[in-house]
Homo-oligomer: A and B are copies of this chain.
Amino acid sequence: MTLLKSWVSSANSADHPFPLNNLPYGVFSTADTDPRCGVAIGEMILDMQAAEHSGLIDLGDVALFDVPFWNDLMEEGPAVWGALRERLTALLAEGSAEQSKVEPLLVPMGQAALHMPFMVSEYTDFYAGRNHAFNVGTMFRGPENALPPNWLHIPIGYNGRASSVVVSGTDIRRPWGQLKSPDHDLPAFLPCRRFDLELEMGAIVGVASDGPITVKEADDAIFGYVLLNDWSARDIQAWEYQPLGPFQAKATATSISPWIVTKLALEPFRTDTPEREFELLDHLKDCGPMLYDIDLSVSLAPEGKDATTIARTNFDQMYYSSAQQLAHHTTSGCPMNVGDLLGSGTISGPAKSERGSLLELSWGGKEPLTLDTGDERSFLLDGDTLTLSGHAQGDGYRIGFGACSGKILAALADPYAR
């Protein structure tokens, strides 16, 4: 696969995130329009509501784009997902006979504000990156017992809070919480002191199910992917997580990138899961190359200063694919719905510079990072802007995700003041 050329010339650059090969789905508004679905092409956004109203997009009897989210399109299922992609590709390709009809429906990206691209039904976060699990386990239990006994047999996950998911660009308020310092006997209610990021990918479920599904069925049910930052209050987590797992430590916010990159756009970048010392049970086995070769990076910019890249890694570092996570999620009969979001778990490579959280990068705060600005960081400080970036590198083109960014605001002086 090489670059597909579009008559939208800004889409034809080798390093632009949104060439014709990508066509990611978002929700935008302008000074003149309410939030509505749009497709990114180069520096422009195709207004899907206008495209549907004009008849240029016609996917059947039902209007799918009178709503400011992509869930209605997802509900139509994979055949319609494929038909839409084919139609968009034809409309926007160099030489399209319909260029003159489509051109008036394009909005410059610079004039658009971006919103949540879909309604999150429920949110689950996994813990399926081996280097991350090993690093965290080593800090808490030593390297011999770093991975829990179940870790190599099932993708460990926990349910998160859908209500906490926000779009990139949303400020993140440092939370309060109940903490216990190692040097105190009793806990106190204080602003979080160890606020952290987690570099993850989010998979969006596009096909509902009501009982166990195979890994292949799960792969077919995934609509697309976003970058995901699972903001984490490490001191709240340390005090609360035994015995039932993280709760308030993960409930302040989870940021996602604003463009859903479809599974269809990522097909050329599939890659294999790693070798395993224990064969997976049949219902979790790979059904083909299930991971994706997606370069990922994390940057941190102190207030008013330049950003430093603090980590680079790749989505191919996962031990379990999103499809395997979804298949496991259904084993008990758990009903899954369109719009369910699955966080991959923190993605860390084997090298120190490839770690996807400050907890790992600063080794629990013992080895602070020095940024290019000379500032030191163990955890996030107020005013820091944290940005996740990602793209798959094709032959002369990229499938980009757009940034997943958030700025840390100071904790409220009194969270109960009214």
The size of the chain A interface, using a CB distance under 8 A, is 63
| Copies of this chain, tallied across the complex | 2
Pick the contact of A159: B160, B236, B282 (CB < 8 A).
B160
Pick the contact of A158: B127, B186, B245 (CB < 8 A).
B245
Residues 63-78 of A at the B interface (beta carbon under 8 Å) = none
Would you call A331 and B177 a contact (CB within 8 A)? yes
| A295-339 near B? 1/0 per residue, CB < 8 Å | 000000000000000000000000000000000110111111100
Mark the stretch among A96-104, A161-169, A221-229, A398-406 that contacts chain B: A161-169
Given A122-B162, A178-B328, 20 more contacts at CB 8 Å?
A121-B163, A122-B161, A122-B163, A149-B180, A150-B178, A150-B180, A153-B187, A157-B247, A158-B244, A159-B159, A159-B160, A159-B161, A163-B335, A175-B333, A177-B331, A178-B331, A186-B278, A187-B281, A251-B333, A283-B416
Instruction: Answer yes or no: A129 CB below 8 A from chain B CBs.
Output: no
User: Residues of B contacting A211 with CB < 8 Å?
Assistant: 412, 415
User: Residues of B contacting A2 with CB < 8 Å?
Assistant: none
Would you call B242 and A333 a contact (CB within 8 A)? no
Residues 114-142 of A at the B interface (beta carbon under 8 Å) = 121-122, 127
Closest to A133 in B: B243
Would you call A331 and B245 a contact (CB within 8 A)? no
Would you call B159 and A281 a contact (CB within 8 A)? no
Would you call A328 and B281 a contact (CB within 8 A)? no
Q: Using a CB–CB distance below 8 Å, which chain A residues touch chain B?
A: 121-122, 127, 148-150, 153-154, 156-164, 173, 175-178, 180, 186-189, 211-214, 233, 236, 239-249, 251-253, 278, 281-283, 328-329, 331-337, 412, 415-416
* Closest beta carbon of chain B to A397's beta carbon, Å: 38
* Closest beta carbon of chain B to A234's beta carbon, Å: 13
User: Residues of B contacting A253 with CB < 8 Å?
Assistant: 333
User: Residues of B contacting A333 with CB < 8 Å?
Assistant: 173, 175-176, 251-253, 415
Supply 27 A–B pairs (Cβ within 8 Å), ascending by A.
Answer: A149-B180, A150-B180, A150-B187, A153-B178, A159-B160, A161-B335, A163-B335, A163-B336, A163-B337, A173-B333, A175-B333, A176-B212, A178-B281, A188-B281, A189-B281, A189-B331, A211-B412, A211-B415, A212-B415, A214-B416, A241-B245, A243-B245, A244-B245, A249-B332, A251-B329, A252-B332, A333-B415
Closest to A176 in B: B331
Max chain B C-beta neighbours (<10 A), residue from A157, A242, A253: A242
User: Residues of B contacting A177 with CB < 8 Å?
Assistant: 331-332
In the complex, A247 Cα to B244 Cα: how many Å? 10
In the complex, A161 Cα to B121 Cα: how many Å? 10
Would you call B156 and A240 a contact (CB within 8 A)? yes
